[in-house]
């Protein structure tokens, strides 16, 4: 993907995450659009591109957040790296893979955020409804995953069409 188009897309997604997604709440928890994008892109395009998108979008989100700089970046990069393992051709078309990857990545993402919040002295953030945030946030992300994964899969296929089948 063109570098400028990628940066513009990520900036748009960051603005969508901070301006729109924060207004969509379920028991005080909002969906993490960028987490779903990073998980989807890691599954579709591999660890390298997923981690790159995670790093850039994480830095942009960290710049806009009031927490310690780097927490969101580390959490997104961890999720991207973890889910990029499922990118292989054997599993790419598995129906449940995006849901399972999003479930695991969401738990890891929230765990990293809460752990680093404790380390950096944000004990109130880390303790305030940790289980509810992880459970509801993960459920929210998994349910909304098809709305993110399917369009990104179409974009990925358009960018790099699959090899012709020999059967």
Q: Which of 29-33, 124-128, 142-146 is most confident?
A: 142-146
Q: Is 147 exposed, middle or buried (0-12, 13-18, 19+ CB in 10 A)?
A: exposed
CATH class of 3-20+28-159: mainly alpha
pLDDT score recorded for residue 129:
63
Per the listing, tokens 């981690």 go with 51
| 14-61 confidence digits (pLDDT tens) | 777 777 777 777 777 778 888 999 999 888 888 888 898 899 989 988
Residue 13 banded pLDDT, cuts 50, 70, 90: confident
pLDDT score recorded for residue 78:
92
**What is the pLDDT of the chain when averaged over all its residues?**
80
Query: Measured between alpha carbons, how far is 57 from 14 in angstroms, rounded to an integer?
Result: 7
User: pTM of the prediction?
Assistant: 0.81
DSSP result, 74-101:
HHHHHHHHHHHGGGSTTTTT-SSHHHHH
């Amino acid at each position: 993907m063109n570098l400028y188009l990628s940066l513009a897309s990520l900036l748009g997604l960051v603005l969508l995450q901070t301006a729109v997604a924060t207004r969509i709440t379920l028991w005080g928890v909002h969906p993490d659009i960028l987490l779903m994008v990073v998980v989807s892109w890691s599954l579709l395009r591999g660890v390298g591109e997923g981690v790159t998108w995670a790093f850039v979008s994480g830095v942009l989100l960290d710049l806009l957040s009031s927490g310690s700089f780097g927490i969101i970046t580390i959490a997104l990069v961890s999720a991207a790296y973890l889910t990029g393992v499922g990118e292989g051709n054997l599993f790419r078309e598995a129906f449940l893979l995006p849901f399972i990857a999003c479930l695991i990545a969401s738990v890891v993402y929230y765990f990293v955020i809460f752990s680093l919040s404790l380390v950096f002295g944000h004990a109130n953030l880390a303790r305030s409804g940790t289980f509810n945030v992880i459970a509801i946030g993960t459920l929210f992300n998994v349910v909304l995953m098809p709305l993110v994964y399917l369009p990104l899969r179409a974009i990925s296929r358009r960018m790099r069409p699959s090899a012709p089948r020999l059967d």
